[in-house]
Structures are given as structure tokens and as C-alpha cells.
Amino acid sequence: MAENAGGPPGVERRTKPAHESRCGSDESTLPMASQPLLLTHIGGPTALIEFGGVRLLTDPTFDPAGGEYPSGSAKLRKLSEPALSPATVGLLDYVLLSHDHHFDNLDRTGRSLLSSAKATLTTEEGAGRLGGNSIGLKAWQSMTLPTRNGPVLRVVATPARHGPQGRDRGAVIGFVVSIGDVPDQGIYFSGDTVWYEGVAEVARRYTPRAALLNLGAASVPEVGPFHLTMTAREAVEAARAFVSAAEEIAQAFAAADLSHRLRWPELGRSIQIDR
Ligand SMILES: [Zn+2]
């Protein structure tokens, strides 16, 4: 919620493909887990995600530094410039908007960008306020969306809680996005949330290739000492939780000093076993 709501420095990790998805053309003909994934942090919670020929933008904030925004009885001031301008970001397919009602997740310039995307995915409450191309989702709701290359983008809305239980700062959702029906190889964007049972459930259900977490332990006077986004300690908790079966196996072998005995054959490729 505040300037220090922070961006998605992310916990990037790769998973071994549990199963394959082949579709479309160009790089989208690659299995999901082999497709290049490009992440560009623009500032605060704003990042460009590119994979499988799809361009997604999280929580658009592009106002220049120095902007002031009313927040209850206080004023928020934006401290840093966005690293890229909307013109530099270029064409967008979809916007993943965790919530629309905080300026540090959707500022004035960011709001003016929404109509340039095919759709803005956000909370049901947010879609009611925004109208236009917005689509409201509730936690665990999923949908598929067309992409330019042919394969579909699958979006699963994930639960988020923007503060302590009973005193959160309004409805927020996160997202797991993937090409085709392989959400366990997708990308997770947490939105503004603390670490709680809802996020732990995301980690139980999916093993995304990358998790973008809004960190910074943001706080506001109205909620006292409680934080509204994840603390560093909670991010460590998340990094522990978002571990793939392959990583667990690798860790177990390493702990047993047996890493040299573990081989991961690449799918479809023969490996020679000498002994
Ligand atoms: Zn917020």
C-alpha cells in the first residue's frame, strides 16, 4: 500500500517438467518449462512478464517520482521513477492487477494504460469499479484467454490477504499464469499479500517456474504495527514452500552427499549409462 510496498524481486526457480504441453508456433511450440521467460522489473509492484509470445504487465505504476496521492488522512509520495516508460514497454496482451484501489498498485498513468491491453484481470470489486476491459475473478477461479500465437493463456486467480486477518486493506488477488493447461509450470504473481494460509495453499497446489512476491512489509497508521505485504522472513517462508518435487529430491540427495548419483535425463533425449 505504501511506497515501500516494494516490487517483485521474485524467487525464481526452475522446475522439471511433470508433463508437456505443445501448441502453437515459434517458441510456443516448446514445452512450457523450456520456453524462455523474461521478467523486467519496472518499479514497485510493476513488472513485465514475457513468455510463450505473451506479454503481461503486473500492477501498472508509471507516474514520475514526486507524485502525491491521498490515503485516508495521510498522503503517499512516490519516491522513485519507473525504470521504463509505457512507450518503451510497448504492446501488452493482458494486465494482472492485484487490486485497483491503492495508488501504489495502479497509479494515474498506469490506469490510462489499461485500455491498451486486451483485458485487465483483477478482483471482482475492482472490475466493478474499473469497468472497461476489466474482468473480475475470485480466488481459485480460472479462465483461458487467447494469445497472438495461437496457444491459450491460462489464468488462475489466487487468494491474497492485504494485512492482518479482519483488518486487511480490501480485496486483492494474485495469479498463476501459464501457456496451455500446465499451471504447475506457470508464473505466480502474489499481489499485495502477507504470508498466510491462502498463499501456502497456492504453494501446495502449484510449483511455478517463478514466483513474483510483493515484499516490503508495507504498513499504514490505520493498521498499527501489522504489515500489509510480506516481510523478508515471510518471503523466505514462501521460498521454502514453493519448492518443486525435483528440488526436494535434489536437496535430499545433496544432504546425503549423493548429488553425483542423481541424473535428470532431458525429456526425449537418450543418456548413456556407462556403469
Ligand atoms: Zn495495496
pLDDT tens digit sequence for 53-97: 899 999 999 999 988 888 777 777 888 899 999 999 999 999 999
The domain ranges of the chain are: 3-244
- Give the pairing of strands 119-123 and 94-96: parallel
According to CATH, the topology of domain 3-244 is Metallo-beta-lactamase; Chain A (3.60.15)
Query: Looking at residue 182, what is its pLDDT?
Result: 67
Structure-block grid coordinates of residue 261: 548419483
Percent composition of the chain: helix, strand, coil (DSSP 3-state, to 5): 25, 25, 50
How remote is the CA of residue 96 from the centroid of ligand 1, in Å?
Answer: 14
> Which residues, 6 or more positions from 127, have their beta carbon under 8 angstroms from its beta carbon?
120, 134, 135, 136
Query: Looking at residue 50, what is its pLDDT?
Result: 93
Give pLDDT < 70 ranges for the chain: 1-34, 181-184, 217, 219-226, 245, 267, 275
To the nearest 10°, report the CA torsion of 83, 87, 89, 92. Answer: 140
Rounded distance, CA 160 to CA 194, Å?
7
Of all residues in the chain, the percent with pLDDT exceeding 70 is 81
Q: Is the Cβ–Cβ distance between 199 and 238 less than 8 Å?
A: yes
How remote is the CA of residue 170 from the centroid of ligand 1, in Å?
Answer: 8
How remote is the CA of residue 182 from the centroid of ligand 1, in Å?
Answer: 29
